[in-house]
Amino acid sequence: MTGAIFIGGGGGKEDAVELDAAYKNKVLSSSKSPSCLYIPHAMESGKHSKALHWFTETYDFFEDIKLLQAPKDLEDEYDSIYMGGGYCHRLRDTLISFDVHSAFFKSFIGKGGSLYGGSAGGVVLGKTLLSSREVMLRPETFLPLDHQGMDICNGLSFRPHFTGSKDEALAIESLSREQEIAVIALSEGAGVIIQEGQGHELINPDLALEFGVDL
């Protein structure tokens, strides 16, 4: 069975109804008692317990959920991996500290896994973190950092929490042109599904804008 990547534009449970429904269907089609590795490490460690409680209640179709706490947790088999919101660079750096790189995720997808990146989690799965809101809002803090993403989404990068404003759209368009990258801006409620050999599908396309996608 072909795996899939789900990218969410952020927001609460009520914003991700359509994307989460597709995610649930995909997960349950691969296993009747699915398991998930939950990675909330875009947040500070003190928030992980509360985040796990939220995840367990929100995605109650999982039979087994494990919070990533040690490298050995990566050795188990899972039907899904879910990475949520927070700071993209914190999440990316934490993954690298666990020796998790693009090859890990590509292997997981190749085995039929469902990989969900919500907000910051989605940005990290893209080509570059330059497209994130944190870089736009606090360039003095984040621009000097390394911005390499996992780049497992057909060369796409993502901007979650897109407001739809003209100024933000122009800024993303400029970034796409100057860096020669394809960026999909996702308002809360929008999403992207990527399956091998099938390109990408926009969820709620009226809440999304594509920049340089034909590069």
pLDDT digits (tens, 9 = 90+) for 188-209: 999 999 998 788 999 999 999 9
Binned at pLDDT 50, 70 and 90, residue 13 comes out as confident
Average pLDDT score over the chain: 95
Q: What is the CA radius of gyration of the chain?
A: 16
Task: With cut-offs at 50, 70 and 90, classify the pLDDT of residue 39.
Answer: very high
pLDDT in tens, 137-159: 888 888 888 999 999 999 999 99
pLDDT confidence of 29, banded at 50, 70, 90? very high
**CA–CA distance, 46 with 41 (Å, rounded to integer):** 10
Q: How confident is the model at residue 45 (pLDDT cuts 50, 70, 90)?
A: very high
- What mean pLDDT do residues 20-32 have? 96
Q: What is the pLDDT of residue 184?
A: 98
Mean pLDDT, to the nearest integer, of 161-170? Answer: 95
Mean pLDDT over residues 112-120, rounded?
97
The pLDDT of residue 127 = 97
Class of domain 4-211: alpha beta
Report the pLDDT value the prediction gives residue 165, as an integer from 0 to 100. Answer: 95
pLDDT-derived band at 164 (thresholds 50, 70, 90) equals: very high
Q: How many CB atoms lie within 10 A of CB 20?
A: 21
Average pLDDT of the residues in 82-101: 96
Is there a contact between 26 and 215 (Cβ–Cβ < 8 Å)?
no
Segments making up each domain of the chain, as ranges: 4-211
Is pLDDT at 136 greater than 70 in this prediction? yes
Residue 103 has pLDDT above 90, yes or no: yes
Q: H/E element holding 195?
A: strand 191-195
Tokens of 3: 């795996």
Structure tokens at 11: 């927001």
CA-based nearest residue to 80, from 111, 47, 122: 111
pLDDT category of residue 35 using cuts at 50, 70 and 90: very high
- What whole-number percentage of the chain has pLDDT above 70? 100
